Chain A
Amino acid sequence: MSRDPGASAERTRLAWRRTGLSATAVALLATRPAFAPGAGTWTFLAAGAAMALWAGLIGLAYRRARGLNALPPQPGRLTVTTYAALTIGLAVLGGALVML
């Protein structure tokens, strides 16, 4: 396979990285209440869940970034679906945190 002049794989890898950084910002905001004085058990549990979701998002992005080295890089149907599901999970968790 010839070299891709548009560097599609490279740009896609950078897009995954950017998305990981955005996810990190959300995860940090979700764990912040756990560091406030007088944080309750549920706040700690929510922080743990946020860290788990964040680890999932970063892990998937890492795996996909490696998969992009292959030629042709296959679209990761499972990766994309799971990534969206984890993001929705963060939304639900955020809602629970606000309601606490």
Chain B
Amino acid sequence: MAGEKPDYRFSLANERTFLAWIRTALALLAGGLACAQFLPPLPIPHLREGIAVALLLLGGVVALRAVDHWARTERAMRLGTDLPKSRFPAVLALIVALGALLLVVAVLIKAFS
């Protein structure tokens, strides 16, 4: 790789951040598989499978971006440039919040109908 070797403690911190993102990805995968296996069939056909596939897809994207961000951070540390900025955590938080909101609405509709 280009540039100088950074302090190994920073490399290890970058590695731990990568692992935290991988755990996020694995949690999304577990959520997707759990949806498919433990939810009863929903009133809208294939909604259960749709939710499961969406969560699995999101998990895959998180893993992909985890390794990309790790590599870019490692490179920035070696070259002594600014660490890469990213909107991804905010986007992921918004997606999860939106999903939670939709579920709350669904539960409320079911409770009052």
Binding site for B on A (CB under 8 A): 4, 6, 8-9, 11-12, 15-16, 18-19, 22-23, 25-26, 29-30, 32-33, 68, 72-77, 80-81, 83-85, 87-88, 90-92, 94-95, 97-99
Q: How large is the interface on B (under 10, 10 to 19, 20 to 34, 35 or more residues)?
A: 35 or more
Majority SS at the chain B contact face:
helix
User: Tally of A-B residue pairs with Cβ under 8 A?
Assistant: 117
B18 touches A73 (CB 8 A): no
A91 touches B60 (CB 8 A): yes
B26 touches A87 (CB 8 A): yes
Inter-chain contacts of A99 with B (CB < 8 A): 49, 53
Q: How far is the CA of A88 from the CA of B13 in the complex (A)?
A: 23
Interface assignment of B64: CB less than 8 Å from any CB of chain A: yes
A26 touches B30 (CB 8 A): yes
Q: How far is the CA of A16 from the CA of B26 in the complex (A)?
A: 13
Inter-chain contacts of A33 with B (CB < 8 A): 37
B29 touches A94 (CB 8 A): yes
